[in-house]
């Protein structure tokens, strides 16, 4: 809608995680570096937590993509929706590891062939790295079943490693008595903070640049101030507000996003769905 108006190649504030837009802020880069380093250690579990919209899934995909260049060392499995039973999570792991199996296979036989595959991968001097997103939603029995797979031994010493990505409620899950062993085996734990005001400004400029913008500052200082105050530094909220502010500016024929555009976006985001939003009325007029 507004791409050509602002001289962009694509929409800069999409909510879909895209590693092209990964910004190397100190907090996110630290988490990325530490996760990569943890994979070369003897630990079994690592944990990344953060509030909704702080960039956990983006970080997860960035690490996954980086391991694509190290297929000689790692075999990866990714589960984005872990609200599964013990048997369900094993089928998901088998699917990710491309293990052929009968649809009516017993749970015992399923565990057996997954264990054999992990050992086989280990004998090739590789490690299986299992990424679980939204891990706070896992039933504790399911996480305990995954924990049992990390105990598979091989002659090479390689084993399965698990990286948990989740909201702060993940810490509450790991505090349950049934999962004490999982918590005790965490070798790396990090909480992603919200962005500060300078971080918000860098984030907006970075995404605009990656989307093809090469002009002067598109967002005024006061616009960034309002954006930071309203979003509390949460990237997902920043994306929503920036996208709407660009729509407002486009609708008015403006090439610079000012404080009023942001305020309109904030009002629109907080408005009820029962009436037409400010943006809908703007484009209907």
Listed in order, strand segments (DSSP E) in 204-284 are none
Looking at the structure, tell me whether residues 63 and 160 fall in a common domain: yes
The token pair at 137 is 């939603």
Q: Which residues pair with 75 in a beta bridge?
A: 128
* Number of domains, the chain: 2
Question: CA nearest 161: which of 37, 32, 43?
Answer: 43
Residue 220's CATH number: 1.10.8.60
Express each pLDDT in 104-121 by its tens digit. 999 999 999 999 999 999
Percent of the chain with pLDDT over 70: 93
Rounded (5°) CA angle 54-60-208: 55
Task: Answer whether residue 14 is part of any domain.
Answer: no
The token pair at 62 is 């960035």
Mean pLDDT of 261-277: 71
**Contact in structure between 206 and 63 (CB atoms under 8 Å):** no
Task: Answer whether residue 114 is part of any domain.
Answer: yes
Looking at the structure, tell me whether residues 168 and 34 fall in a common domain: yes
Sign of the C-alpha dihedral computed for residues 238, 81, 98 and 151 taken in this order? positive
pLDDT of residue 276: 43
Q: Which of these ranges, 20-34, 136-150, 180-194, 247-261, has the smallest mean pLDDT?
A: 20-34
Q: Which of these ranges, 68-72, 133-137, 274-278, has the smallest mean pLDDT?
A: 274-278
Structural Rg of the chain based on CA atoms: 22
First-to-last C-alpha distance (Å) of the chain: 16
Task: Answer whether residue 2 is part of any domain.
Answer: no
**Contact in structure between 163 and 128 (CB atoms under 8 Å):** no
Domain boundary among 157, 191, 225: 191
Looking at the structure, tell me whether residues 110 and 37 fall in a common domain: yes
Looking at the structure, tell me whether residues 167 and 39 fall in a common domain: yes
Q: Which residues pair with 78 in a beta bridge?
A: 131
Residue numbers of the domain that contains 242: 196-284
Mean pLDDT of 74-96: 94
Please give the biggest Cα pair distance in the chain: 72
Express each pLDDT in 1-13 by its tens digit. 899 999 999 999 9
Looking at the structure, tell me whether residues 202 and 278 fall in a common domain: yes
> What CA–CA distance (Å, rounded) separates 50 from 273?
28
> What CA–CA distance (Å, rounded) separates 12 from 63?
22
Question: CA nearest 167: which of 55, 5, 7?
Answer: 55
Domain boundary among 191, 223, 255: 191
Task: Answer whether residue 3 is part of any domain.
Answer: no
Residues 6 or more apart whose CB falls under 8 angstroms from that of 118 comprise 128, 149, 152, 154, 159, 160
The token pair at 95 is 């699917």
- 140-149 and 107-123 are packed helices; what angle lies between their axes, rounded to 10 degrees? 40
Domain boundary among 191, 226, 244: 191
CA distances from 36 to 30, 164, 223 (A): 10, 14, 36
Task: Answer whether residue 231 is part of any domain.
Answer: yes
Looking at the structure, tell me whether residues 174 and 85 fall in a common domain: yes
The H or E element that residue 105 is part of is none
Looking at the structure, tell me whether residues 211 and 96 fall in a common domain: no
Residue 156's CATH number: 3.40.50.300
Q: Which of these ranges, 38-42, 99-103, 117-121, 168-172, has the smallest mean pLDDT?
A: 38-42
Task: Answer whether residue 9 is part of any domain.
Answer: no
Question: Is residue 157 very low, low, confident or very high in pLDDT (cuts 50, 70, 90)?
Answer: low
Residue with tokens 């749970």: 107
pLDDT of residue 38: 85
Residue 283 has pLDDT above 50, yes or no: no
Question: CA nearest 257: which of 283, 199, 285, 218?
Answer: 218
Residues 6 or more apart whose CB falls under 8 angstroms from that of 106 comprise none
Task: Answer whether residue 4 is part of any domain.
Answer: no
Looking at the structure, tell me whether residues 86 and 137 fall in a common domain: yes
Residue with tokens 């280990």: 122
Residue 257 DSSP symbol = B
């Amino acid at each position: 809608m507004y791409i050509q108006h602002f001289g962009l190649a694509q929409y800069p504030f999409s909510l879909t995680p895209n590693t092209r837009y990964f910004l190397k802020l100190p907090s996110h880069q630290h988490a990325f570096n530490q996760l990569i380093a943890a994979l070369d250690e003897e630990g079994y579990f690592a944990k990344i937590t953060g509030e909704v919209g702080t960039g956990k899934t983006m970080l997860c995909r960035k690490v996954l993509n980086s391991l694509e260049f190290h297929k000689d060392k790692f075999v990866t499995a990714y589960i984005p929706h872990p609200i599964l039973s013990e048997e369900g999570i094993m089928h998901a792991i088998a699917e990710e590891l491309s293990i052929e199996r009968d649809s009516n296979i017993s749970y015992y036989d399923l565990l057996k062939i997954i264990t054999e595959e992990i050992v086989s991968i280990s004998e090739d001097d590789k490690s299986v790295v299992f990424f679980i997103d939204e891990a706070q939603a896992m039933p504790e029995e399911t996480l305990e079943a995954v924990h049992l797979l990390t105990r598979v031994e091989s002659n090479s010493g390689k084993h399965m490693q698990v990286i948990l990505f989740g909201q702060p409620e993940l810490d509450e899950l790991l505090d349950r008595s049934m999962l004490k062993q999982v918590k005790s085996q965490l070798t790396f734990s990090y909480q992603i903070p919200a962005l500060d005001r300078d971080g918000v400004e860098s984030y907006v400029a970075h995404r605009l640049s990656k989307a093809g913008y090469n002009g002067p500052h598109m967002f005024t200082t006061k616009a960034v101030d309002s954006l930071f105050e309203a979003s509390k530094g949460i990237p997902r909220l920043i994306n929503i507000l920036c996208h709407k502010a660009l729509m407002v500016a486009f609708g008015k024929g403006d090439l610079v996003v000012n404080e009023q555009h942001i305020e309109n976006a904030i009002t629109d985001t907080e408005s009820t769905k029962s009436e037409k939003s400010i943006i809908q009325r703007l484009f209907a007029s």
